[in-house]
A and B are shown apart, each in its own frame.
Chain A
């Protein structure tokens, strides 16, 4: 599965708006993840996950920044996320189902913050892009 030129354009152009709010987007995405899919919390026993927590904010920023790295190298996501892919495979070992949960929560957050930009085309492009990101992050699992 790879992105068409049109899909890449949509993602890169939306990213320029998203990148002005990475903290808010990241925090909200994780809040949604942990509210809707409490099993995801099992990977963070060492974190304070309450709304407003500094750790939640910091981690949310990190996650969105990584998505941003993928956007900036949209023609070669595997290369941009290679280190993160190894981290997830050998250290974090997050069950792959959680990437679907996180991707869904990011889409919900984007839809909520950018209702006009999040057209059906944009929804399709982002769903596909996050699916590619998820594949890259799990590709070294076995």
Chain B
């Protein structure tokens, strides 16, 4: 999927990413930009306005959790399907999440990385990340049945 050079670029850049902040922002923006995704989070409390969503402590905590899992996956770029096997089963069997949502979140994550890193998030680096988020989305969908 990624060449050695691309993997190095991705992991090198990831070292500079504030996973807590980016995770919270990415999940928040998913819920604001694509409000139908709120269907999975009705138990999170107030999601009534963009400010409410972005400030919601459960959204922030969950966003961090999601991105921590993503970070862990970045250590296994050669075997994303293996790395995300259990999470895939969880999202299918217990959470009943349409895998389309993984693609939406992946693209929101890319936008958030661009917002935080500006010119450093070059077109080439974005291309590498698009491959990674696609790989992660596919891995999370892989065990669906």
Contact = CB atoms under 8 A, between A and B. Distances in A.
- Of all A-B residue pairs in the complex, the 10 with the closest CB atoms, nearest first, are A111-B115, A35-B123, A35-B127, A112-B114, A111-B114, A120-B32, A31-B123, A32-B123, A36-B127, A124-B33
A35 B124 contact: yes
A132 B7 CA distance: 36
> What's the interface size class on A, roughly?
20 to 34
A51 B54 CA distance: 36
Interface of B (DSSP majority class)? helix
Contacts of A108: 110-111, 114, 121, 126
Interface string B95-118: 000000000000100111011111
A30 B127 CA distance: 12
Interface of B: 28-29, 32-33, 50, 53-54, 107, 110-112, 114-119, 121, 123-124, 126-127, 130
Contacts of B114: 108-109, 111-112
A3 interface: no
A8 interface: no
A49 to B, nearest CB: 12
Contacts, number: 58
B118 A123 contact: no
B111 A120 contact: no
Interface of A: 28, 31-32, 34-37, 104, 107-109, 111-113, 115, 118-121, 123-124, 127
A121 B32 contact: yes
Given A35-B126, A107-B111, A108-B126, A120 B116 contact: no
Contacts of A115: 115-116, 118
Contacts of A36: 123, 126-127, 130
